[in-house]
Amino acid sequence: MHAHHGHAHASERLDTDRRALTIALLLIGGFVVVELVAGIVAHSLALLADAGHLFSDAAALGMALWAASMAVRPPRGRFTFGFRRLEIVAAQANGLMLLLVGLWIVYTAVRRLVSPPDVSGGLVLVVALAGIAVNLAATLALSRASRESLNVRGAFLHVASDLAAFIGTAIAGAIVLSTGWNRADPIASLVVAGLMFYAAWLLLRDTTRIFLETSPQEIDPADVGRAIVSIPHVVEAHDLHVWTVSSGFAALSAHVLVEPGADCHGLRRTIEAMLRERFDLEHTTLQVDHAGTAEPVGVELGETFRRSTPL
């Protein structure tokens, strides 16, 4: 019952995410071409930097859309968890791309600070104002999607950071137009690069944590272990693992020992219900045995929790 509800919720979330990502991709992808042409005509590194950032956003949106489509496929063969972790692969690729594009922008901006070219401030200003409008529309589209997905959160973060980048570019265009100070353009591009580095750091940090199979940030494994052994007739919990398979999909496994004569199956159901209600853990694998009769399960990893552990 709970599993069916969880799968239905995940499928509904993925459908909503795909619609939002498609709308944002069409908006951003179309404007990339406009800004790229305008940047070349205006000799504006700030516009070209924004175009590079937007291109990475469009690529990220495309990857996220593909990953979200693959994520609904059922598990099969060696893919026992299905393809949901492709969302995390796409998010990490997005972070790496942002990092590389940001480095290129910094290198080019430093060269243009030393020897600034002529910049068409008026065209820069017009395109930047149009970019603000496009990014507002894309941000609104993504704001309706779920924040459970790391891809959607990453896409939302990038598109929202573009708003700030376009505001900086518009200011640079106004400065060039009114004063003729062309160095305002590469300075604005350095601000864009800084935003890209920040977004890249957030994505790479979060995706690396998932690939290292750390516990979700909102779940402390020690709290889970203490909660399990606080249940009447439970003696010990060990070999406890809590990890994130994909965005919004946490899993747990543990070996639990109960008092001799206790109902193993009944206690397993009690523990599963507690994990769902208290920690929102739907996917759990519990081995429940009587204390003193369980065979060794191999090398035990992680902390051991006993009933005497202070709560």
Instruction: Tell me the average confidence (pLDDT) per consecutive run of 10 residues in the chain, 311 residues long.
Output: 46 73 88 83 73 76 80 79 82 83 85 75 78 86 72 74 76 81 81 84 90 90 94 93 86 94 94 95 93 60 70 40
Query: Where in the chain do CATH 1.20.1510.10 domains reside?
Result: 2-211
Where in the chain do CATH 3.30.300.30 domains reside? 221-306
User: Read out DSSP for the chain?
Assistant: -HHHHHHHHHHHHHHHHHHHHHHHHHHHHHHHHHHHHHHHHHT-HHHHHHHHHHHHHHHHHHHHHHHHHHHTSPPBTTBTTTTTTHHHHHHHHHHHHHHHHHHHHHHHHHHHHHSPPP--HHHHHHHHHHHHHHHHHHHHHHHTS-SS-HHHHHHHHHHHHHHHHHHHHHHHHHHHHHH--TTHHHHHHHHHHHHHHHHHHHHHHHHHHHHTTPPPTT--HHHHHHHHHTSTTEEEEEEEEEEEEETTEEEEEEEEEE-TTS-HHHHHHHHHHHHHHHH---EEEEEEEETTTPPP-SS--S--EETTS--
Domain 221-306, what fold? GMP Synthetase; Chain A, domain 3 (3.30.300)
Question: Tell me, what's the pLDDT at 2?
Answer: 42
pLDDT (0 to 100) of residue 56: 72
Fold of the domain spanning 2-211: Alpha-lytic protease prodomain-like (1.20.1510)
> What is the structure's pLDDT at 208?
93
**Residue 169: per-residue pLDDT:** 76
